[in-house]
Amino acid sequence: MKNLIRMKNTLCRPIIVASLSAILQSSYAQTVLLNDNFQVSSNSQNINQQLSSRQTGALVAIPVNTAYTAYQGSVQVGNTNTDVGQPGGAANGNIALLENDASFFSA
C-alpha cells in the first residue's frame, strides 16, 4: 500500500507542476488594448489626423470613440523640425508634441 501511495505522489507532482506552469503562462498573457504610433503624413495641430490608420489594439475593433480631445495649450503631430530628445532626433515626427500645459485624452 505504501508503494502505491509513493507511486501516486511521484506521478502526481510532475503533473501538478506542469499544469500550474501552463495556467500561469496563460494567465499572464498580455493584450494590447490601444496603441497609437502617431505616424502622420504631414505636420498638423489636429491630434486626430489620420487616426484610423495610426491606432491598433483590441479597443479599435469596438465601435467606441477612440478619438482624442485636446485640452489647453498646443498639441501637434508630425512635426519633423523640432527635436525634443525623441529617438531619431527631429526627423522623427512620430510623436505628439505638447506645449503650454497642453494635454489630450480619449473619452
Per DSSP, what are the bridge partners of residue 105? 69
**What's the grid cell of residue 82?**
523640432
d(CA 97, CA 76): 5
pLDDT exceeds 60 at position 102:
yes
39-93, pLDDT tens digit by residue?
899 998 888 888 888 888 888 777 666 778 888 888 888 888 888 888 888 888 8
d(CA 27, CA 94): 33
Q: How far is CA 30 from the centre of its chain?
A: 10
d(CA 97, CA 79): 8
The amino acid occupying position 21 is S
